[in-house]
Amino acid sequence: MGDAPPPARGEEAQLLSLPMCIALVMGNMIGSGVFLLPASLAPFGWNAVLAWGVTISGAMALAMVLARLTQAVPGATGPTGFVSAAFGGVAGFLIGWVYWVSIWTAVVTIAVAAISYLSSFAPALGAVPFLPAFAAMALLWMATAINLRGARSAGQFQLVTLVIKLMPLLLVIIIAAALIVQGKATPPPLPAEGFSFTQVNAAAAMTLWALLGFECASLAAAKTRNPAVTIPRATIIGTAATGLLYLFVCSAIALLLPPEIAINSPAPFAAFVEMFWSPTAGSFIALFAAISCIGALNGWVMMQGELPRTMAAQGLLPRWLEQADANGTPRQALIMSSIVASILLLMNATKGMKPLFEFLLLLSTSATLWLYLACALAAIKLRVALPFAIFGAIYALYTLWGAGWTASGLSLALMAMGLPILWWTKRAQASTSPWSFRA
């Protein structure tokens, strides 16, 4: 397993600060889900609140595992390095490969969601065939251009968009607190029959998707100033802050809105603001949602360049993906990933290819869960943060079960599909230099 690549000329000035790393974690976690999730959680009532507690506890345990692994294995440069250190290069490659595919699909779905929100201001975006896909592609390459300017440019953009996207979330919390204090709205009583394990489990599977992304700071270790200190702090602070925001915002909307509105509204966030504050203010929620998506897109585009760079430095992918410019940006890895994501966007735009895209999305959604499980098991083997690692492993297995055996099983097949790339990488490197791959 290779150490982090040395900073290129000018790269030191591009390193991410602690606020930028926190913005990366929170910005990647806060996307479009918070604006739609309350409608899905409303039928579960207080069971959804308990589900949030379970999900936040699991996410915090896994975040602590990643934070401690960053300190215990400083040369690992990210989750794939942790897995390789514990179980060897093949395991590190398989986890990294399937996670890389999941990042591509995340980039695509976030870009499409951003255009969907923007179409409320420009209806032609949703009415003209193929225009949504090309508009989403334009957003993708805009984010790519920002990242090509360097990590600090992307980090500054992430900070700005995070501040903007936090505004409507804090607004909902303030409105909800004022309503409860003034007695103008009251949450429903706790269920007389008690909490339902089945409903809590179903709601927890939904809340988990809203918290995916807390691993992003560790993926950017090579771009971070003083990573042994900055990465753990950003991971813990970002995960805790996002979890609490989601808990209060989604619970307030799901519990205080009338059930018939909360469950059936296509825009529950906007419905809450319109009902309890101003009918005209709700129309701006779509704009905030679009900005939220664009900020998340910027962060995930950074990840789709940093992950292959790290894997190439570890000898798990071709070395040319590790090459960086004077600012330390892995231009070739970043551009290649954006090209792949653009192809997936075109697949989504073509009616006949849409089932294939949905199939690929189904395969890759559970990839992050395998990453979390692998990191927890790596921590157990390396005897790092054992209580958190054991709880995190149990939680990851629990959520894999909640995601369904079909998606979890098919994602294993997706891992295996990457083995020919590993074989080709090993053969190509062996033909030009001694192979340093550790199986």
Domain assignments of the chain as residue spans, ordered by start: 17-421
**3-class DSSP state of 280:** coil
Contact by Cβ (8 Å): 221, 78: yes
* Superfamily of the domain at 17-421: Amino acid/polyamine transporter I (1.20.1740.10)
Rg (alpha carbons) of the chain, rounded to whole number: 21
Contact by Cβ (8 Å): 47, 203: yes
**Predicted pLDDT at 177:** 93
Give the whole-angstrom CA distance, residue 111 versus residue 132: 10
3-state secondary structure 115-144: HHHHCCCCCHHHHCCCHHHHHHHHHHHHHH
DSSP secondary structure letter of residue 214:
T
Q: For every one of its 439 residues, what pLDDT tens digit does the chain have, with 9 covering 90 and above?
A: 444 444 444 456 568 899 999 999 999 999 877 887 888 888 888 999 999 999 999 999 999 999 999 989 887 778 899 999 999 999 999 999 989 988 988 898 888 888 888 887 777 776 777 888 899 999 999 999 999 998 889 999 999 999 999 999 999 999 999 999 998 888 888 887 888 888 888 888 778 778 888 999 888 887 888 888 999 999 999 999 999 999 999 999 989 988 888 888 777 888 898 889 887 777 788 888 889 999 999 999 999 999 999 999 888 898 889 888 888 889 999 999 999 999 988 887 765 555 655 555 556 667 788 999 999 999 999 999 999 999 999 988 887 876 667 777 778 888 888 888 888 888 777 765 433 444 4
Amino acid letter, 211: L
Give the whole-angstrom CA distance, residue 287 versus residue 129: 23
**Predicted pLDDT at 369:** 86
Going by C-beta distance under 8 Å and a sequence separation of 6 or more, which residues neighbour residue 129? Answer: none
**Predicted pLDDT at 377:** 97
Overall size of the chain counted in residues: 439
Q: Where are the alpha helices (DSSP H) in 88-226?
A: 89-118, 124-127, 131-148, 151-182, 197-211, 216-219
Contact by Cβ (8 Å): 21, 176: no
Crossing angle, helix 89-118 and helix 354-365, to 10 degrees? 130
Q: Is 416 exposed, middle or buried (0-12, 13-18, 19+ CB in 10 A)?
A: exposed
Give the whole-angstrom CA distance, residue 153 versus residue 38: 33
**Tokens 């804090």 belong to residue:** 170
**Predicted pLDDT at 11:** 55
Instruction: Please give the structure tokens belonging to residue 103.
Output: 């990042």
Kindly report the pTM of this predicted structure.
0.85
**Predicted pLDDT at 248:** 93
- What is the CB-side half-sphere exposure of residue 123 using CA atoms within 13 A? 0
